[in-house]
Amino acid sequence: MIDPKLRGATAIVGVGHAGLGLAEGYTEMEILVQAATRAVRDAGLTMQDIDGIATASVSSTMWVMPVIEHLGIRPTFIDNTMVGGSSFVAHLMPAIQALVSGQCNAVLVCYGSTQRSSTVNRAAIGKMRRMMDPQPYETPYEPLSPLSSYALAAARHMHQYGTTREQLAEVAVAAREWARLNPEATMRDPLTVEQVLSSRMVSDPLTVRDCCLVSDGAGAYVLVRADRAKTLRQKPVYVLGNSTAVWNRQISSMDDLTVTAAQQSGKIAYEMAGVKPADIDVAEVYDAFTINTILFMEDLGFCKKGEGGDFVSKGGIAPGGHFPVNTNGGGLSCVHPGMYGMFILIEAVRQLRGQGEARQVANAQLALVHGNGGTLSSQSTAILGTEATL
């Protein structure tokens, strides 16, 4: 059991982003540093106050070192953990422990990617990855990576529970409805279920509109101990729970394609936070593909296994629905720079600060953030709350 003292012991006090959408002419380091600077200033701190750092990169295995060098800091807590898109949610727990133990006093978690504007094409990166991270029992069958893995999960969910393509499309439409309320979102044109269904099929049953965007973008947040958080500029957003789970790397090694390790990470995060799904006011989950949102609603206890399709139907998770999910427009319509996990945390912080503007969820006190990485491989759940939830 996680030490109960860790609940609410730290808070996110600063968030920032840069280069959302297209960052032509900038490197990923440059937009990362812009986002980091904004997060530190948002907290009312200076870069010299940062003595802990966590980051991860899709391509650079020693990424934290050039980041430290560029920022000009001398951290005493360093975390380069890379578990795919959920990394920046998974970075919370080690940072919490480092802060509570006194190893450091202010942790900066940061990420940047220029995957859209980069001159290194993604096919070349894909080829490199196949050499450096071989999957000899999957690659010869030429699945689209990672898309076909999610398509296989979607097909199985449809077979097992009667989930429909229309219900998958509802997830994309809800994300778009939220994006239309967010001036920072990339895709803001109206979208209908019929348009999702009739768009180009990529890997059955997923069409291009069932898939996340390919964008540039950088994001960062700053985490400090709760006592210090109270003295800083912004309303603190407390970390009440966090847990990360990995059961497999490859989709072919997953026991049941309709059950993810989010069941484990969610259970532990809820226990640590002392809350249950019904208490959550808003959820920000990693929607790389429409099936993700359905799987995570089930695995995180918002509905029963197999009922995720019904849960998202009839605008259930759209603005005005019964439960607000992915209020920034998600990876499907807001932004998706390779590893989206950073941006779900930023959106949750904004909602709990009451800075959601047109998309603000009324009286949001408790937010659930859920990151996913690989091919339904890594799962990290965080529960965040306002001072009222302590």
Partner 1 sequence: MTVSNQTLETGAEKYYQTQLQAGAFTIQRCGDCDKSIFYPRMICPHCGSDDLQWYTPSGKGTVYSVTVVRNKPEKGGDHNVALIDLEEGPRMMSRVQDIAPGEVHIGQSVVACIQRTGDEALLVFVPAGDKA
Decide if residue 68 touches partner 1 (CB under 8 A).
Answer: no
Q: Specify the stretch interacting with partner 1 by CB under 8 A; choose among 141-149, 298-306, 342-350, 356-364.
A: 141-149
Decide if residue 377 touches partner 1 (CB under 8 A).
Answer: no
Give the position of tokens 């940062």.
50
Write the DSSP assignment of 300-352 as a string of letters: TTSS-TT-HHHHHTTTTTSTTSSS-B-TT-HHHHT---S-THHHHHHHHHHHH
* Positions in 174-213 near partner 1 (CB under 8 A): 200-206
Cα–Cα dist 311/318, whole Å: 11
Decide if residue 131 touches partner 1 (CB under 8 A).
Answer: no
Decide if residue 151 touches partner 1 (CB under 8 A).
Answer: yes
* Member of 3, 65, 137, 192 binding partner 1 (CB under 8 A): 137
Please choose, from the candidates 281, 62, 274, 320, the residue with its C-alpha nearest in 3D space to the C-alpha of residue 177: 320
Decide if residue 133 touches partner 1 (CB under 8 A).
Answer: no
Give the residue with the Cβ less far from partner 1, 159 or 304.
159
* Member of 142, 190, 278, 363 binding partner 1 (CB under 8 A): 142
Question: How far are the Cα atoms of 29, 184, 227, 323, 360 from residue 313, in angstroms, in the given order?
Answer: 40, 26, 43, 11, 22
Q: Specify the stretch interacting with partner 1 by CB under 8 A; choose among 18-26, 58-66, 137-145, 312-320.
A: 137-145
State the angle between helix axes of 290-299 and 262-273 in degrees (0 to 180), rounded to the nearest 10.
Answer: 50
Give the residue with the Cβ less far from partner 1, 137 or 227.
137
* Member of 2, 68, 78, 144 binding partner 1 (CB under 8 A): 144
Tell me the closest approach of the beta carbon of residue 243 to partner 1, in angstroms.
22
Please choose, from the candidates 173, 6, 34, the residue with its C-alpha nearest in 3D space to the C-alpha of residue 100: 6
CB 186 within 8 A of CB 334: yes
Give the position of tokens 């940047």.
112
Tell me the closest approach of the beta carbon of residue 331 to partner 1, in angstroms.
20
Give the count of beta carbons closer than 10 Å to the beta carbon of residue 190.
Answer: 9
Cα–Cα dist 179/194, whole Å: 18
* Member of 59, 195, 199, 250 binding partner 1 (CB under 8 A): 250
Decide if residue 21 touches partner 1 (CB under 8 A).
Answer: no
Q: Say which amino acid occupies 369.
A: V
* Contact track, partner 1, 289-328, x by CB under 8 A: ----------------------------------------
Tell me the closest approach of the beta carbon of residue 220 to partner 1, in angstroms.
36
Decide if residue 122 touches partner 1 (CB under 8 A).
Answer: no
* Member of 28, 42, 79, 138 binding partner 1 (CB under 8 A): 138
Backbone dihedral angles phi then psi of residue 364, each to the nearest 5 degrees: -75, 115
Decide if residue 257 touches partner 1 (CB under 8 A).
Answer: yes
Please choose, from the candidates 128, 124, 127, 136, the residue with its C-alpha nearest in 3D space to the C-alpha of residue 250: 136
Contact positions vs partner 1 (CB under 8 A) = 136-138, 140-144, 148, 151-153, 155-156, 159, 200-206, 250-253, 257
